[in-house]
A and B are shown apart, each in its own frame.
Chain A
Amino acid sequence: MSEFSETPVTPRTRRQWRPRLVHAAIGLAALAAGAVMAPDRASAHPHVWISVVAELLYGPDGSITGVRQVWTFDEMFSAFATRGIAQKTEGAFSREELDPLAKTYMDGLKDFGYFTFVRLDGERQNEVFAGPVDYFIDYDPKQTAITVNFTLPLKSAAPAKSFEVLIYDPQLYFYLSFARFDPVHLIGAPAQCRPLVKTPADDAAPAPGATAGMVTTSTSTIWVKCS
């Protein structure tokens, strides 16, 4: 009797199988996808916070010849970075004492393109910088933070209209954001040019070619407008 009571169920059960297995497979595939995606980028997972001041260097003809930057590291990373470095006076480091550190940083950053990338007319450019010059590290005893200063000259000058420099760590291990005050300086730019500090919304972005350079960090873009 019991055999027969179960028998009619069987075909239905077997037909339901496939969709169920498919859904189970979807669930596990989603899990796998989540697991794979997760470590691919250390996005949203910064360990070091850097505030950036960027200086666009303009040539006499109004083209852009290079980018100078001042990175202020957060207090905790600064303590880590300066650990074990000999100092003459307690609580302070001279530029000379931090000179080896500056060299280390420039070497280390080289493999990561100095986290400084260039687009011309929206097209990514490769190997545009001639390498760092005039680099040094200062220690600010009041903020107990190190500032890394370096200049990246362009191998060949770029038209300001199409120029954009992007300063960021694609993996967001370092979170590079604009300094709170006056984060973009224009050096040698035509007198009527100003950085547009208040970041406009997407739709308010200047039309391509209406700018004289752009600087983008992990957080936002600042346009240079000349009027």
Chain B
Amino acid sequence: MNPSSRGVIIRRFTLALAACILLIALSAHAPALGDANPFAGMRQPAPTGVTGWILAEQSRFYRALSGLIHAAKTDGSALWALMGISFIYGIFHAAGPGHGKAVISSYLVANEETWRRGIVLSLASALLQAVTAIVIVGVAAALLGATAKMMGDTVRAVEIASYALIVLLGARLLWVKGRGFLRTWRAIGSTPQTQAAEVHGHERQHAHQHSSHAHDHDHHNGTSHAHGHHHHHDEEHEDILPWGHAHGPEPEELAGSGGWHRGFSAVVAVGLRPCSGAIIVLVFALAQGLFLAGVASTFVMGLGTAITVAAIATLAVAAREVAKKVAATKPGYGSLALRGVEVGAAVLVIAFGVALLTGYMASERMGMF
């Protein structure tokens, strides 16, 4: 494949991906904006299109959930249907807006994570959400006889802790990624060889170009290059300038126990806050004397949620990978742009946390009653 057709494919893929993401964002929200905001002057007889459909389905599933919990009191087989409905409800529920997806996706983009880790982190945070809901209802309602108000206050406290953790997570990402960005920036400014590569083009830095284009060329062409120089170049600069397929400035941080430890903080920040929907279902199940069925339903719902979050997280990672591939063909400024995107995503995580903390972005209203 020659470089220009490759470029066209990458460009088309990027555009298609961007279009998909925009479409998802708009289709889910644009109709809802008019609908949720009558003051905008729009008058819709009923929500139509995607929003209307999602609302109708959510309503149906919600009723099915309560109906099946009722039925399970006398008919054990209703439990299976309950699990099925819970699973689908979890997928649907997470398809609506929520900060979990946004924070996880931004985290993955900022932290140069793989899609595998994206899926694991999504799953872990969704399951932690389920656990928090079960613990709150199990302890407060089942054991202590707490009222809705007390449970709401507990959820509110957990929420604030969770949002504060999101701010901390973002701040830490910004610190690490900001330094990486500055290092790349400085390296571009101060490395004469790099400047030569940028300004004078390929001829004087063929070894370096070769290292980022290696997969594009025939092997016999490659062997005629000075390999010694190539390796020397990589070793010398990998920790300063991440060319081509090299990883970020701190490759050792990306894998191993340290990396998983970092992922853990993201899981806790996002998953600590329970979904109030799960709490309502759990309390209802408890009132019906079927708390364990509620617990199982909550876990299955979390599994459904994880699938949606993982899908969106994978999309974010894919978008980042495309950008990375594109950036790899432009040494120096390409990786600077990537570092910039990481910094932007880190800032986004902080912004989410602050917006949630200050109530600007109110995603749950359990504490109001």
Check A187 for interface membership: any CB of B closer than 8 A.
Answer: no
How big is the A interface, by class? 35 or more
Also in contact, A221 and B362, with CB within 8 A (given A41-B36, A81-B148): no
| Nearest CB in chain B: distance from A49 CB, A | 6
**In the complex, which residues 283-330 of chain B have their Cβ closer than 8 Å to any Cβ of chain A?**
283-284, 286-288, 315-316, 319-320, 322-323, 326-327, 329-330
Also in contact, A5 and B221, with CB within 8 A (given A30-B21, A49-B59, A83-B151): yes
Check B37 for interface membership: any CB of A closer than 8 A.
Answer: yes
0/1 string, B43-82, CB within 8 A of A gives 1: 1111100010011001100110110000000000000000
**In the complex, which residues 17-42 of chain B have their Cβ closer than 8 Å to any Cβ of chain A?**
17-19, 21-22, 24-25, 28-29, 32-33, 35-39, 41
**In the complex, which residues 59-117 of chain A have their Cβ closer than 8 Å to any Cβ of chain B?**
74-77, 79-85, 104-105, 108-109, 111-112, 117
Contacts of B284 in A (CB 8 A): 75-76, 79-80
Check A149 for interface membership: any CB of B closer than 8 A.
Answer: no
Check A156 for interface membership: any CB of B closer than 8 A.
Answer: no
**In the complex, which residues 121-157 of chain A have their Cβ closer than 8 Å to any Cβ of chain B?**
122, 124
**Which residue of A16, A33, A34, A77 is within 8 Å of B4 (Cβ)?**
A16
Check A36 for interface membership: any CB of B closer than 8 A.
Answer: yes
Check B279 for interface membership: any CB of A closer than 8 A.
Answer: yes
Closest A residue by C-beta to B347: A32
Contacts of B147 in A (CB 8 A): 83-85
Tell whether, in the assembled complex, residue B201 and residue A24 are in contact, meaning their CB atoms are under 8 Å apart: no
**Which residue of A75, A108, A200 is within 8 Å of B369 (Cβ)?**
A108
Tell whether, in the assembled complex, residue B319 and residue A27 are in contact, meaning their CB atoms are under 8 Å apart: yes
Contacts of B286 in A (CB 8 A): 83
A45 to B319 CA separation, bound complex (whole angstroms):
26
A38 to B316 CA separation, bound complex (whole angstroms):
14
Contacts of B24 in A (CB 8 A): 34
Contacts of A80 in B (CB 8 A): 148, 151, 279-280, 283-284
Check A58 for interface membership: any CB of B closer than 8 A.
Answer: no
Also in contact, A39 and B99, with CB within 8 A (given A6-B217, A31-B319, A218-B35): yes
Say what secondary structure dominates the interface of chain B: helix
Stretch at the interface among B7-15, B113-121, B187-195: B7-15
Contacts of B47 in A (CB 8 A): 218-219
Closest A residue by C-beta to B368: A108
| Nearest CB in chain A: distance from B33 CB, A | 7
Tell whether, in the assembled complex, residue B221 and residue A23 are in contact, meaning their CB atoms are under 8 Å apart: no
Tell whether, in the assembled complex, residue B45 and residue A28 are in contact, meaning their CB atoms are under 8 Å apart: no
Tell whether, in the assembled complex, residue A172 and residue B146 are in contact, meaning their CB atoms are under 8 Å apart: no
**Which residue of A5, A30, A84 is within 8 Å of B18 (Cβ)?**
A30
Contacts of B225 in A (CB 8 A): 2
- Most B Cβ at <10 Å: residue of A1, A6, A34, A36: A34
Contacts of A205 in B (CB 8 A): 43
Check A42 for interface membership: any CB of B closer than 8 A.
Answer: yes
Contacts of A34 in B (CB 8 A): 21-22, 24-25
A127 to B106 CA separation, bound complex (whole angstroms):
39
Tell whether, in the assembled complex, residue B58 and residue A168 are in contact, meaning their CB atoms are under 8 Å apart: no
A49 to B279 CA separation, bound complex (whole angstroms):
15
Closest B residue by C-beta to A35: B102
Stretch at the interface among B123-131, B176-184, B202-210: B202-210
Tell whether, in the assembled complex, residue B7 and residue A38 are in contact, meaning their CB atoms are under 8 Å apart: no
**In the complex, which residues 11-66 of chain A have their Cβ closer than 8 Å to any Cβ of chain B?**
11-14, 16-17, 19-21, 23-49
Tell whether, in the assembled complex, residue A76 and residue B320 are in contact, meaning their CB atoms are under 8 Å apart: no
Also in contact, A202 and B45, with CB within 8 A (given A10-B202, A17-B330, A21-B337): yes
Check B276 for interface membership: any CB of A closer than 8 A.
Answer: yes
| Nearest CB in chain A: distance from B328 CB, A | 11
Sample of 5 A–B contacts (CB below 8 Å) = A6-B206, A20-B326, A25-B337, A34-B25, A169-B365
The interface of chain B, by Cβ under 8 A from chain A, is 3-4, 7, 10-11, 14-15, 17-19, 21-22, 24-25, 28-29, 32-33, 35-39, 41, 43-47, 51, 54-55, 58-59, 62-63, 65-66, 93, 96-99, 101-102, 105-106, 109, 141, 145-151, 201-203, 206, 209, 217, 221-222, 224-225, 276-277, 279-281, 283-284, 286-288, 315-316, 319-320, 322-323, 326-327, 329-330, 334, 337, 341, 344-345, 348, 351-352, 355-356, 361-365, 368-369
Which 9 pairs from chain A and chain B are nearest by CB? A45-B96, A34-B25, A43-B32, A84-B147, A10-B202, A27-B18, A38-B97, A24-B323, A76-B284
14 other A-B residue contacts (CB within 8 Å) besides A21-B327, A44-B28, A44-B29 = A6-B217, A20-B7, A20-B329, A21-B326, A24-B322, A27-B319, A28-B319, A36-B348, A37-B25, A43-B96, A45-B58, A80-B284, A117-B39, A218-B36
